[in-house]
Amino acid sequence: MALGFPSVAGALVPQSMPHPFHYGMFGNDVVDDCSEVASANLTIHEFHDARITTAQVETAWQLTQGWTDAANTYMETTGFGGHTIKAVIPVTTQAQMIRYANEGGVWAEFFGPSLAAPQWMHDVAVIGANASQITYVTGGEVVSESWAQWDTRFTFTNGNIVDYAYAYIWN
């Protein structure tokens, strides 16, 4: 889903923070390429000098159509900014999220419904986490929030902390 994610009445608004790297929206305000945007932002987080254009991300989206397996294969074979991954590891627990968010990042995908939107899907780049909070990139902005806010914001259909999440193991 382009731009953002649902909020729940009464939930605290996550805090956006300035960040020294050049995370981007990469066209997600025009096309639903959040899957590839999350991958591009994970690349930037791991390789701070990576230069990635909106055209590159939109081309990846045209090739993968946002399908999880296709997006992971794209990152293994082509990647962004000359950087690829050698593997993905499924992430299903908070402990795994904390570990892998701090070791190369986690690509995370959520499905609705939620109180704010009856049908939605969104992908984010999880770039940090600890026992009290999680930090991720969405819409080109860095957001840090408590695990309680994270749990309230997203409805998980499979009982995990996300619907689908993969740790990136970089080459």
pLDDT in tens, 83-121: 999 999 999 888 999 999 999 999 998 776 554 555 667
More confident position, 11 or 52: 52
pTM summary value: 0.83
Q: Is 111 contained in some domain?
A: yes
Residue percentage of the chain with pLDDT more than 70: 75
Residues 20-31: what's their mean pLDDT? 81
Residue 142, beta-bridge partner list: 17, 137
Q: Is 7 contained in some domain?
A: no
Count how many domains the chain has: 1
Q: Is 146 contained in some domain?
A: yes
Quote the domain boundaries for residue 166: 15-170
Q: Is 93 contained in some domain?
A: yes
Q: Is 2 contained in some domain?
A: no
How many CB atoms within 10 Å of residue 87?
A: 12
Q: Is 10 contained in some domain?
A: no
Residue type, 56: Q
How many CB atoms within 10 Å of residue 107?
A: 28
Q: Is 107 contained in some domain?
A: yes
Q: Is 135 contained in some domain?
A: yes
DSSP assigned state of 160: S
Asked if residue 2 has pLDDT above 70, the reply is no
Residue 164, beta-bridge partner list: 109
How many CB atoms within 10 Å of residue 146?
A: 13
Under the phi-then-psi rule, with left for phi > 0, alpha for psi from -120 to 50, and beta for the rest, what region is 140?
left
* CA 58/CA 130 separation, integer angstroms: 32
Per the prediction, the chain carries an average pLDDT of: 82
